[in-house]
Amino acid sequence: MQTMTMDKPKAPKASPAPRNGVDTPTLLATINAVGAQPELAKFQFRAQSRWISGTHSRSTVSGFFGAGGEHSHKKAFDYDSDHPAVLCGADHGPTPVEHLLHALAGCLTAGIGNIAAVRGITLHEVVSTVEGDIDLQGILGLSEEVRNGYQGIRISFRISGDAPAEKLRELVEQSRRRSAVFDVLTNGVPVTLEVAA
């Protein structure tokens, strides 16, 4: 990501001043620190989940490992998941597949904020809509030809800021290239499952 280095500052656009709510100097210093000490880059994120009733469960996200040590979020974040009434659930939360969609939007949007700051672009607005198409014949066991998960996901961004449209589009493209969620969703990831019963 040579665009994130400070090799060729082009004042004023490439100035690493704080921008968009991003402490750009600290962000760049962090990247340099990890570059010098790659073991700092190893992170482990976690969630705990508990079944409540029917298809309703609640997850908690609180601690994680990274940058050589244990961390806690400022507070524990709790999330409910459920199925809606039309799928015989009690609708106490979104379906788990809806949680996937906002994770994708959140990841790409965070990247846009950081990359714009490093590139000296002030953002005015970034909004997105994510849609996922799924044929429930898979999870309902009605067809062996239909996959369980989404058949496709589309995300549409509207972005405005103090740069030409082409530069704004490049922010989204660079964020896509460096998005952890986009990578996992498009390329898959090994998942191992253990059960104590």
Restricting to residues 143-162, which ones interact with a second copy according to CB under 8 A?
Answer: 143, 146-160
DSSP-assigned beta bridge partners for residue 80: 58
Which residue among 13, 17, 54, 122 contacts a second copy (CB under 8 A)? 54
Q: State which of positions 96-125 bind a second copy (CB under 8 A).
A: 96-114, 117, 123, 125
Question: By the 8 A CB rule, do 31 and 22 touch?
Answer: no
Taking phi over 0 as left and psi of -120 to 50 as alpha, with beta for the rest, 141 belongs to left
Does 189 bind a second copy (CB under 8 A)? Our answer is yes
Does 27 bind a second copy (CB under 8 A)? Our answer is yes
Shorter beta-carbon distance to a second copy: residue 15 or 57: 57
Q: State which of positions 56-85 bind a second copy (CB under 8 A).
A: 56-57, 59, 61, 64, 66-67, 71, 73-74, 77, 79, 81-85
CA–CA separation, 1 vs 27, rounded Å? 14
Q: Which residue is it, tokens 């589309």? A: 154
The size of the interface with a second copy (CB under 8 A), counted in residues, is: 138
> Greatest CA separation found in the chain?
62
